[in-house]
Amino acid sequence: MDVLSQILITGLTLGSMYALASVGLSLIYGTLGMFNMAHGLFMTIGAYASYSVAMAFGIPLIVGILVAMATGALIGMLTHLLMVRFMLGTADFGTNILVATAGLGILLEDLVLKVYGGYPYPQPLKVEGVTRIGNVTVTYQALVVLAVALVLILGVAFLLLRTRFGRAIRATAMNRESAMLMGVKADTVFLQVMALAGMLAGVAGLMISTQATLSPQMGGDPLLKAFVICVVAGLGNVWGAGLCAFGLALIEAAIGYYFGVRFGFPAMLMLVILVLVWRPQGLFGRETVVRL
Amino acid sequence: MSALLSCDGLVSGYLNRPVLHGVSLTVAHKGVLALIGPNGHGKTTLLRTLSGFLRMREGQMSFDGQDAGGWSVHERVRAGMIHVPQGDQLFAEMTVEENLLMGSYLCTDRVEVARRLDDVFALFPKLKERRDQVASSLSGGERRMVGIGRGLMADARLLMLDEPSLGLAPLVIEQIYAALGELRSRGMAFLVIEENPSRLLDFADGLCLMDAGHIVWSGNTDEAKTSGDILKTYLGGH
């Protein structure tokens, strides 16, 4: 029983961070049809921005979260306005943007390295202390991570499913030309999606840095895992990505407990290979059927 | 009677290959113009140019007396030029109601949106039964109704329909055209594309025949009925 709750708590905390990272990645892929290789750096910059503001002004965690959100959204919007916008609709967009965002990621990582140095800092923005659930020790910060992820993901779900704004995003993702025929400005939708995904990435970065440390490379591992999650869920399937984030995190936590933490990620990669052999379109992906 | 839509000497196409070589046509206020012609001769290209997806390379175009040649897709929709594309192009994973609500995207007045939704449900009662069903699970006729209904939700002044009878059973085509006739009697203007003119002879006022990017014949439907030779030459006997 204690083992189970330990695995559950570790898995849910991990899953919250993965979900924040992969929901945004999936949203971008679904709407713009691009892999955002710079997504990991959106996380890193979100974490560093809130670190800097915290060091300068000693803000509470809640303000730190807002800073991370704002920074992430800003960097997402800038990426769209300065780069993606000019490449959309050109030949081989999918491949070119992959390379371009990977380049942006390297550039941003070097900038972070230049400004902050390579020394890993502890994140000052976190809640100290522990509580016990049954016989299992849980840090307050883990509960904060879980709560923040739940609030944000439910918020995004509400936005996408229940508002006119979200309906336009979904319509653009399903059929860009049709959405434009309804009067939707696709360019504005793309900008909003980049802002939304960047915002989630910024918070993900802050949350990850509270569980580990700040370093210029901190975004690499979560980016890889977010990609794995998006592929397993089915590319561009936002709900699937949210669910798979928690599912895979629980599996990773279980394997980490029974076999050792170093087997967690390899096991995830094995699982991806199996899923892709068995269901190439992903667990929640649909085979595309073309009808007249 | 002044024209709602008129274009003159319109040239457009894909990459460096022009498809339309100077097309001129006029749709009157409350008028119905039918554009017919065989496959692959530029009918859909013309609609895509009119709705702003394809750049007009030469020529002029005006909508309700205003020069519309430079308008974006968004501005054309706002003005009431509504293009219902070939094959419906519904939002497949949305419900019927969500699809219809997307049609009224530019209208932020909830009361007005609800009124338009009631209008569409009155015209196509079947859609009301299916309002919570996902669009990809509908039959061909129902999908067409959603496509047209979605156009109506935008408060269309001119409905540009690309082959509204495509792929439907004759009985369903009757239903669709009955609904279009109802809209017509309320004063809606239409530009309708079909390959087969037989439905349109009773529905349209004017008829244009398109061949290889040119309008090769135009006249009113009575003239078309009497001078059947031209239609037969291009489209085979009926």
Domain boundaries of chain A, sorted by first residue:
2-217
Final residue in a domain of this structure, among B138, B156, B174: B156
pLDDT tens for A25-48 read 999 999 998 999 999 999 999 999
* A&B contacts, CB < 8 Å: 68
Both B62 and B105 in one domain: the answer is no
Is B53 in contact with B89 (CB distance < 8 Å)?
A: no
Residues B16 and B75 in one domain: yes
Question: Where a domain ends, among B156, B185, B200?
Answer: B156
Nearest-Cα distance to chain B for A163, in Å, is 11
Mean pLDDT of B19-40: 88
Find the closest chain A residue to B104 by CA distance.
A182
| Residues of A with Cβ-Cβ distance to B166 under 8 angstroms | 292
What is the per-residue pLDDT across A160-174, written as a single tens digit (0 to 9) for each?
999 999 999 999 999
Dig out the tokens for A268 from the structure.
């995830």
Residue A291 pLDDT exceeds 90? no
| Whole-number pLDDT of residue B234 | 66
Least CA distance to A237: which residue of chain B?
B93
- ipTM at complex level: 0.89
Q: Report, as an integer, the average pLDDT of A135-159.
A: 92
The stretch B171-191 carries a mean pLDDT of 91
**β-strands B189-194, B158-162: how paired?**
parallel
* Parent domain of B133: 89-156
| B107 and B224 inside one domain | no
The pLDDT of residue B213 is 84
Kindly state the average pLDDT of the residues A217-240.
90
For A289, list phi and psi in degrees, rounded to 5: -110, 125
pLDDT tens by residue, A249-290: 999 999 999 998 888 888 888 888 998 898 888 888 765 554
pLDDT > 60? residue B1: no
**Is the domain of B57 the same as that of B171?**
yes
**Per-residue confidence (pLDDT) for residue B228, from 0 to 100:** 65
> Do B135 and B231 lie in a common domain?
no
Residue where a domain stops, chosen among B124, B156, B188: B156
> Rounded to a whole number, what is the distance in Å from the CA of A125 to chain B's nearest CA?
41
Q: Which of A13-22, A135-144, A193-202 has the lowest mean pLDDT?
A: A135-144
Q: β-strands B32-36, B206-211: how paired?
A: parallel
Torsion A45-A51-A55-A58 (CA) sign = positive
Q: Are residues B69 and B118 in the same domain?
A: no
Among B93, B105, B167, whose Cβ lies nearest the Cβ of A182? B105
Going from the C-alpha of B207 to that of each of B21, B38, B68, B228, B231, the distances in angstroms are: 19, 14, 23, 12, 10
**Distance separating the N- and C-terminal Cα atoms of chain A:** 55
B110 and B180 in a common domain: no
B74 and B5 together in one domain: yes
Residue B238: pLDDT band by 50, 70, 90 thresholds?
Answer: very low
Would the pLDDT of A6 be above 60?
yes
Instruction: Indicate the pTM of the whole model.
Output: 0.88
**Average pLDDT of the residues of chain A:** 91
Q: How many domains, chain B?
A: 2
Which among A170, A175, A185 has CB closest to B89? A175
Same domain, B2 and B29: yes
